[in-house]
Every structure is written in structure tokens, then in C-alpha cells.
Amino acid sequence: MQRKRSIPHSFDERLAAEKKQLEEQAALLPPGSVKDVVLRKIGQLNTAIHVSELLKSPGSRSPE
């Protein structure tokens, strides 16, 4: 039996999807340590998205 393959998603799309999911989850959580962990992960994803955008920008070139 063959497994149906989904369309591959880019790194940026996966980061954005995970961030959205965690933001929805954080909105439902009461204040506490679990929510703090989720919010910290959202911050890390924001950083990853920002770094990815910087690396893709036309101004980012390796030093010559």
C-alpha cells in the first residue's frame, strides 16, 4: 500500500504554521509555566523567521 505524499512545504511555511498553531494554543492557556514555555517557543520561531528573511535578502552576501 502506497502512502499519499503531500505537497512539500517550504521552511518558512512550516515555521509560520507552527507559530500560528502555538499562538492559538497560547490564547487558550491560563497564565503559568506551560503558557510561558509556549510563549518562549513563539519567540524562538519569530527569531528563526527573521533570520531566514535576512539570509534571503539580496543584501546578504558572503564577505569577499
Domain membership of residue 62 (yes or no) is: no
In sequence order, what are the residues at sequence separation of 6 or more whose Cβ sits closer than 8 angstroms to the Cβ of residue 23?
42
So what's the pLDDT on residue 20? 96
Domain membership of residue 23 (yes or no) is: yes
Domain membership of residue 5 (yes or no) is: no
So what's the pLDDT on residue 2? 65
The residue segments making up the domain with residue 25 are: 11-56
- Scan for cell 505524499, then name that residue: 5
Domain membership of residue 39 (yes or no) is: yes
So what's the pLDDT on residue 63? 62
Domain membership of residue 64 (yes or no) is: no
The residue among 10, 19, 27, 11 whose CA lies nearest residue 44 is 19
Report how many domains make up the chain: 1
So what's the pLDDT on residue 26? 96
Domain membership of residue 38 (yes or no) is: yes
So what's the pLDDT on residue 43? 97
pLDDT (tens place) for every residue of the chain, 64 residues total: 566 666 768 888 999 999 999 999 999 999 999 999 999 999 999 999 999 998 888 875 666 6
